Amino acid sequence: SLSIQAKLLRVLQEKEIERLGSAKTKKINFRFVAATNTNLKRLVEEGRFREDLYYRVTKVTLSIPPLRERREDVPLYLYHYLEKINQLYKTQIKQISKKAMDILVNYNWPGNVRELINVLEQTIIKASNDKEIRAEHLPPDIPVHAQKPHHTEVPEKTHSIKQKITEAERNL
């Protein structure tokens, strides 16, 4: 709502808050990071987002395309989250078969990275006694919705996300 936006703008400008039930303000030191999949500029034009708040929160903007437009990143995310989920479920799955990888790379990922993590968790539960994820471990709706193959080179194992972030930061 616009009234909440006004309160947020005040906090961002004055760097102070008033705790619930208190009449005293308290200075705070913070960094504000926000993420959205909404076009804020359009909301400003429609009068649903304060223009002054828009300019306050868009000092640095990063536009990250959806996963379906970055298919070459799918293996990177898969291996990153495979490692994390292995730790969580105490499994030892280290590889993804070429067929399973092709299906996952060519899937449209309407739920983006959150969906990828969910699919990987389901898959790891099904494949928990194996060392490799195979196509038959994937949820049944994934192969059905996979698009025609793209010409994305799919390595067996890719650099870590940390390496990719470091590389991207160097290029900024």
State the average pLDDT over residues 75-91. 94
State the average pLDDT over residues 106-135. 94
The pLDDT-based confidence of 59 (bands split at 50, 70, 90) is confident
Asked whether residue 19 carries a pLDDT value surpassing 70, the answer given is: yes
Residue 154 confidence (pLDDT): 46
d(CA 61, CA 55): 11
Percent of the chain at pLDDT above 70?
Answer: 85
Instruction: Give the per-residue SS3 of 140-162.
Output: CHHHHHCCCCCCCCCCCCCCCHH
Encoded tokens for 6: 């006004």
State the average pLDDT over residues 107-114. 94
Average pLDDT, the chain: 87
Residue 169 confidence (pLDDT): 67
Residue 150 confidence (pLDDT): 54
pLDDT in tens, 140-154: 988 755 555 554 444
Alpha-carbon distances, residue 151 vs 73, 103, 105, 147 (angstroms)? 13, 13, 10, 12
| Helix, strand, or coil (residue 27) | strand
State the average pLDDT over residues 59-80. 92
State the average pLDDT over residues 13-28. 91
Residue 60 confidence (pLDDT): 86
Percent of the chain at pLDDT above 90?
Answer: 68
pLDDT in tens, 39-53: 999 999 999 999 999
Give the global pTM: 0.68
